[in-house]
């Protein structure tokens, strides 16, 4: 079952989405493979620390790495990847590392890599490592209103 907060939010906003149960997987690339979708359509959520005490969510395709220099230039403050230990308490209804890209539901600013706009649909963790949700990117963009930019780059093959 998707995180209750997420499901309630999508239902209240009359969003057409599909929820899937699948074999547990822990990396975005593994999740895309388990779901049989291209890595560019799997939206992974990465938590980044900004300054001393602020966290933001960066959403990018599965096959992208977050470019912290680009993100830092965009935000204008020092950034670095947060550890799971640092952010696990921010998502009380999610398994650690399986948070959906709806940082707005958890009082986090969301930054989305512009590469996600290239496809009509995105698929993402639904709060567990064995469940995902697929929905239109346009609906995600409307509900989350992420700051858009080029924050990632393709991983070397």
CATH number assigned to the domain comprising residue 134: 3.90.960.10
Q: Tell me the pLDDT tens digit for each residue of 49-98.
A: 998 889 999 999 988 999 999 999 999 999 999 999 999 899 999 998 89
User: Over the chain, what is the mean pLDDT?
Assistant: 89
Long-range pairs, 30-33, Cβ under 8 A, ≥24: 31/62, 31/125, 31/132, 32/62, 32/63, 32/123
- pTM as predicted: 0.90
Residue where the block lists tokens 């093959």? 157
Give the pLDDT score at 78. Answer: 94
Q: How far apart are CA 2 and CA 8, in angstroms?
A: 10
Domains contained in the chain, number: 1
Asked if residue 34 lies in contact with residue 25, where contact means CB atoms within 8 angstroms, the answer is yes
The H or E element spanning position 58 is strand 54-61
38 vs 8: which has the higher pLDDT: 8
Q: How far apart are CA 50 and CA 76, in angstroms?
A: 9
Give the pLDDT score at 1. Answer: 47
Q: Which range among 17-26, 90-99, 138-147 shows the weakest confidence by mean pLDDT?
A: 17-26
Query: Which phi and psi angles does 36 have, rounded to 5°?
Result: 60, 45
Does residue 7 surpass a pLDDT of 60?
A: yes
Which residues form the domain of 55? 4-154
Four-residue CA torsion sign, 104, 16, 139, 60: positive
Query: Which phi and psi angles does 83 have, rounded to 5°?
Result: -85, 160
Four-residue CA torsion sign, 150, 155, 156, 157: negative
Residue 25 C-beta-side C-alpha neighbours within 13 Å: 20
């Amino acid at each position: 079952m998707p995180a209750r907060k997420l499901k309630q939010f999508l239902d209240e906003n009359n969003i057409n989405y599909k929820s899937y149960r699948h074999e547990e997987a822990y990396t975005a690339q593994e999740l895309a493979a388990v779901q049989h979708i291209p890595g560019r359509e799997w939206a992974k959520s990465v938590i980044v620390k900004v300054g001393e005490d602020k966290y933001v969510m960066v959403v990018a395709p599965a096959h992208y790495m977050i470019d912290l220099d680009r993100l830092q230039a965009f935000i204008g403050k020092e950034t670095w990847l947060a550890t799971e230990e640092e952010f696990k308490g921010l998502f009380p209804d999610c398994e650690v590392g399986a948070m959906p890209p709806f940082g707005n539901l958890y009082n986090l600013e969301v930054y989305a890599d512009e590469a996600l706009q290239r496809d009509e649909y995105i698929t993402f963790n639904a709060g567990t490592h064995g469940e995902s949700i697929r929905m239109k990117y346009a609906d995600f963009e409307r509900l989350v209103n992420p700051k858009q930019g080029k924050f990632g780059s393709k991983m070397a093959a």
